[in-house]
Amino acid sequence: MSASFTFKAAAPPVARFGFHVTVPSWSRAVVSRDGMLIGERGPGRYRRARRSEWHLVDMRPSILTLPTQEVLTSDGVQVRVSAIATITVVDPTAWVSASESPLEVIYSALQIALRDRVAAMELASVSSSRSTLLDGVEAELATQFAMIGATVTGISLKDVTLPQEVRSALAQVALTKQHGLAELERARAEAASLRSLANTAKLLAENPTLLQLRTLQAASDGAQVVIHRGEGETR
């Protein structure tokens, strides 16, 4: 199933009118006149020649988020995934001239890469390898992005949402596991207690004097001690 989101990127601002153009410190200007590229200009204030256009390109890194995509895994389970990437313009002239909408080029390439990776994996692998699922995408798409004057880094999976029935099943498995661990811990505690009692009984059987000493200790602590010496005799 394809995503319902349609990506639309704003075009870089263009100065076509006015006598002067100011290029901010974080930008570069790609200048053309009568449809011909003239060159680039760095930060500063410039006098704009007649019939010239100044395309201002922001050189700061920016974040591109791929909204939720609904994809079928290789074992036929539909999952919802989203991704995030950092974009930096390295060639302002290519950014302006190589594509009408370079951000859409990047978005489409990342979308396809994300969907291909998820579709090639089983559900269990998607869930367990979310931190590495998009490893290698940067290198695979580097040449394509370089053609439009950009580098894309930090490509990673942002969210993975499983179907409700799968989440319920996983929750039940986790709950059953916790119950099993609790039962195991109780069994271990009971076994340890029985071993302690058995060891104590064996020790007292082998050393009757210890029982007398323990009885005297209890009596000195104020406990009531009842000693059976024989039938009908109690002290």
Are residue 37 and residue 76 in the same domain, yes or no? no
Question: Could you tell me if 225 and 219 are in contact, meaning their C-beta atoms sit under 8 angstroms apart?
Answer: yes
Are residue 88 and residue 137 in the same domain, yes or no? yes
> What pTM does this model have?
0.66
Residue 226 has pLDDT above 90, yes or no: no
Are residue 41 and residue 113 in the same domain, yes or no? no
Residue 234 has pLDDT above 50, yes or no: no
Are residue 194 and residue 141 in the same domain, yes or no? no
User: Rounded to an integer, what distance in angstroms lies between the CA atom of residue 168 and that of residue 181?
Assistant: 20
Structural domain of residue 41, as residue ranges? 12-58
Non-local CB neighbours of 105 within 8 Å, separated by 6+ positions = 99, 144, 148
Are residue 45 and residue 111 in the same domain, yes or no? no
What confidence score (pLDDT) does residue 114 get? 93
pLDDT tens-digit map of 137-158: 999 999 999 999 999 999 998 8
Selection from 69, 161, 65, 159 nearest residue 112 by Cα: 69
In a domain, 204, yes or no: yes
What is the signed CA dihedral for 136, 138, 143, 147, rounded to 10 degrees? 160
In a domain, 175, yes or no: yes
Selection from 180, 157, 176, 158 nearest residue 168 by Cα: 176
Q: Which two tokens stand for residue 104?
A: 């859409």
What confidence score (pLDDT) does residue 92 get? 96
What confidence score (pLDDT) does residue 47 get? 93
Structural domain total, the chain: 3
pLDDT tens-digit map of 33-52: 998 999 999 999 999 999 99
Amino acid (1-letter code) at residue 158: K
**Cα angle at 218 between 188 and 229, to 5 degrees?**
100
- The dihedrals phi and psi of 136, each to the nearest 5 degrees, come to 90, -10
Reduced to 3 states (helix: H, G, I; strand: E, B; else coil), residue 87 is strand
Are residue 16 and residue 109 in the same domain, yes or no? no
